[in-house]
Amino acid sequence: MKRRSKRLLLLGGAGALLVGAVVLVLTAFQENLVFFHTPSEVVAGKAPQGRAFRIGGMVEEHSIRRAEDGLTVHFSITDMAQMIPVTYKGTLPDLFQEGKGAVVQGQLDEKGQFRASEVLAKHDENYMPVEAQYALDSAQMNKAAESVQQ
Amino acid sequence: MRSFDDKKPRGKSLLRFAAPQVFYPLAGTLAPWFAAAAALLALIGLYVGFFVAPTDAQQGEVYRVIFIHVPAAWMSMFIYLLMAFWSAVGLVMNTRLSFMMARALAPTGAMFCFVALWTGALWGKPTWGTYWVWDARLTSQLLLMFLYLGYMALTAAIEDGRRADRAGAIIALVGAVNVPIIYFSVMWWNTLHQGASVSLTQAPTMATTMLAGMLLMAVAAWAYTVAAAFWRVRSFILERERIPTGWVPSLNDRRTVDGMGFLERFLEHGRSCMVRLGQLRRDHFVHCYGTVSGVSPS
């Protein structure tokens, strides 16, 4: 066949092999590529034992409590199925709020509490103007008020 | 020795632009237009992004770096795919210009990658609470930066142009596998970096003005890439075509060797206007007050 078609075939074949190799490597490394575990995975025992790891989820509503020393904070991180209590001593990011995402890094102690060494706020890909957020919140509040009245 | 005219192709096929000596004047004519478009679109895009788009309910004003961060990240990925494409074309079709275009695109792509990484870090500190994490998205984007630098270093280090092209092509093609990894990393793995706000398959999750600003900046970045790559490839053509083919750009080529004919003329015109204006004002002053320095002219 023409030299050009042969080169194209060779290149295509090499490319396919490369993609296959990368796919295999990535699937083999799934365990190591995990940036954080969900609370369900931690409860199920799938999180690494004896070393630091990260838990990602949502900060549970009404769970943030500050200790007497003013610096330590207790909260719970949840994925709507399971919940892990977390203790953290230090400054929290500005975006850290109840009902919003967070990623905590640390270790699980014997009592099942997670001692965090680092807390990061995770925000989603939604960008909403202040007015739209206000309208959304008002609508939700009205809905809640209606359901209470009924 | 065969003269340059022998190579002139007959007929008006678009493929004639695959010849470096034919592409050279075209690139010189088009590049200033793309540069002007890039400047204009960037001005409008930044205005929309910084003044028209509303404040974000969650992040406040700090989210506005998105108008630089996202277009830069998009371009860094797209340019690497372009480099891989032109390298593949060069390997299969055994052309010279496609390799030169791949090498011309690399510095621009590297710049966008650098900008994306740094604006991302500066955005991450006030929002996430950290400048950097080793999650899949950030790590693969950093890998892209190393690939760009490796491509530029390797192609610059090898003396023989053709061998350098082929060595660089390997980096471009192998590294191109990284680009879908970057893009899909937020879907395939748990990452700190959030998912895509804009995708081809779903409705955008941002206000319309925000989206408009981002798209304007993306088009501006693309226009800038075209202009920069065209100007850069002209240097490559001059460098590499002179000795093997004996070709030099003709004086009829309105865009001169440095390729900045239009911009230079524009600036020179402005400068001479300012000089004339200064002279006119001086003459008028002397006409009114009879002197400039306090000593009457006599």
Domains in chain A: ranges and CATH: 34-122 (2.40.50.140)
Size of the A and B interface in Cβ pairs below 8 Å: 116
Q: Is residue B8 part of a domain?
A: no
Whether residue B167 is found in the same domain as residue B282? no
Res B8 pLDDT > 60: no
Q: What is the mean pLDDT of residues B10-39?
A: 87
Q: Say what the pLDDT of residue B37 is.
A: 96
Res B150 pLDDT > 50: yes
Q: Say what the pLDDT of residue B2 is.
A: 46
Task: Tell me if A87 sits within 8 A of A45, measured CB to CB.
Answer: no
User: Which of A10-19, A51-60, B196-205 bottoms out in mean pLDDT, i.e. has the lowest?
Assistant: B196-205
| End-to-end Cα distance, chain B | 70
Whether residue B159 is found in the same domain as residue B37? yes
Whether residue B185 is found in the same domain as residue B119? yes
Higher pLDDT, A44 or B78: B78
Q: For residue B257, name the pLDDT band (cuts at 50, 70, 90).
A: very low
Whether residue B226 is found in the same domain as residue B134? yes
Q: Say what the pLDDT of residue B145 is.
A: 95
Please, which residues 66-95 of chain B have a Cβ atom closer than 8 Å to chain A?
66, 88, 91-94
Higher pLDDT, B79 or A6: B79
CB contact under 8 A, A124 and B126: no
Chain mean pLDDT for chain B: 86
Q: Is residue B12 part of a domain?
A: no
Chain mean pLDDT for chain A: 85
User: Which of A23-32, A52-61, B26-35 bottoms out in mean pLDDT, i.e. has the lowest?
Assistant: A23-32
Q: Is residue B65 part of a domain?
A: yes
* Separation in Å, CA of A97 to nearest CA in chain B: 10
- Chain B residues whose CB is inside 8 A of the A126 CB are 58, 197, 205-206
- Chain A residues whose CB is inside 8 A of the B121 CB are none
How many other CB atoms are there within 10 angstroms of residue A43's CB atom? 16
Higher pLDDT, A6 or B110: B110
Q: Say what the pLDDT of residue B201 is.
A: 76
Res A11 pLDDT > 70: yes
**For A34, which of B126, B133, B190 is closest by C-beta distance?**
B190
Q: For residue A97, name the pLDDT band (cuts at 50, 70, 90).
A: confident
**For A4, which of B63, B92, B190 is closest by C-beta distance?**
B92
User: Which of A78-92, B234-248, B271-285 bottoms out in mean pLDDT, i.e. has the lowest?
Assistant: B234-248
**For A121, which of B129, B189, B196 is closest by C-beta distance?**
B129
Q: For residue B253, name the pLDDT band (cuts at 50, 70, 90).
A: low
Whether residue B133 is found in the same domain as residue B210? yes
Backbone dihedral angles phi then psi of residue B30, each to the nearest 5 degrees: -80, -35
Residue A91 DSSP label: P
Whether residue B160 is found in the same domain as residue B186? yes
Tell me which residue has tokens 């372009």: B82
Interface probe, candidates B123, B133, B181, chain A, greatest A C-beta count within 10 A: B133
Whether residue B274 is found in the same domain as residue B126? no
- Is residue A129 less than 8 Å (CB to CB) from chain B? yes
CB contact under 8 A, B177 and A124: no
pLDDT, tens digit, for every residue of B279-297?
888 888 888 888 766 655 5
* Separation in Å, CA of A84 to nearest CA in chain B: 18
Round to whole Å and give the CA distance between B94 and A114: 60
Q: Say what the pLDDT of residue B10 is.
A: 58
CB within 8 Å of B78: residues ≥ 6 apart = B222
User: For strand A83-89 and strand A114-122, is the pairing parallel, antiparallel, or unpaired?
Assistant: parallel
Whether residue B123 is found in the same domain as residue B161? yes
- Is residue A130 less than 8 Å (CB to CB) from chain B? yes
Task: Tell me if B235 sits within 8 A of B255, measured CB to CB.
Answer: no
Q: Say what the pLDDT of residue B243 is.
A: 67
Q: Is residue B1 part of a domain?
A: no
Can you give B192-261 as a three-state secondary structure string? CCCCCCCCCCCCCCECHHHHHHHHHHHHHHHHHHHHHHHHHHHHHHHHHHHHHHCCCCCCCCCCCCCCCH
Q: Is residue B171 part of a domain?
A: yes
User: Which of B33-47, B158-172, B277-291 bottoms out in mean pLDDT, i.e. has the lowest?
Assistant: B277-291
Instruction: Compute the C-alpha angle B136/B141/B145, nearest 5°.
Output: 145
Higher pLDDT, B258 or B135: B135
Host H or E run for residue A118: strand A114-122
pLDDT, tens digit, for every residue of A50-87?
788 999 999 988 888 888 887 899 999 998 888 999 99
Res B9 pLDDT > 80: no
Q: What is the mean pLDDT of residues B200-211?
A: 82
- Is residue A2 less than 8 Å (CB to CB) from chain B? no
**For A18, which of B174, B195, B196 is closest by C-beta distance?**
B174
**For B192, which of A18, A34, A35 is closest by C-beta distance?**
A35
With residues binned 3-state (H G I as helix, E B as strand, rest as coil), the percentages for chain B, rounded to 5, are 75, 0, 25
Whether residue B198 is found in the same domain as residue B266? no
CB contact under 8 A, A35 and B206: no
Higher pLDDT, B111 or A133: B111
- Is residue A35 less than 8 Å (CB to CB) from chain B? yes
Can you give A37-79 as a three-state secondary structure string? ECHHHHHCCCCCCCCCEEEEEEECCCCCEECCCCCEEEEEEEC
- Is residue A103 less than 8 Å (CB to CB) from chain B? yes
Q: Is residue B117 part of a domain?
A: yes
Task: Tell me if B171 sits within 8 A of A100, measured CB to CB.
Answer: no
Task: Tell me if B295 sits within 8 A of B286, measured CB to CB.
Answer: no
Number of domains in chain B: 2
Q: Is residue B154 part of a domain?
A: yes
Instruction: Give B121-126 contacts, CB < 8 A, sequence gap 24+.
Output: B122/B65, B123/B62, B123/B63, B123/B65, B123/B66, B123/B69, B126/A93, B126/A94, B126/B62
Whether residue B197 is found in the same domain as residue B276? no
Whether residue B296 is found in the same domain as residue B245? no
Round to whole Å and give the CA distance between B181 and B195: 13
Domain that holds residue B88: 19-250
Q: For residue B163, name the pLDDT band (cuts at 50, 70, 90).
A: very high
CB contact under 8 A, A96 and B174: no
Task: Tell me if A19 sits within 8 A of B177, measured CB to CB.
Answer: yes
Q: Is residue B147 part of a domain?
A: yes
Task: Tell me if A60 sits within 8 A of A78, measured CB to CB.
Answer: yes
Whether residue B272 is found in the same domain as residue B218? no
Nearest Cα residue in chain B from A119: B129
User: Which of A44-48, A79-83, B130-134 bottoms out in mean pLDDT, i.e. has the lowest?
Assistant: A44-48
Residues comprising chain B, all counted:
298
Token pair for B13: 């096929």
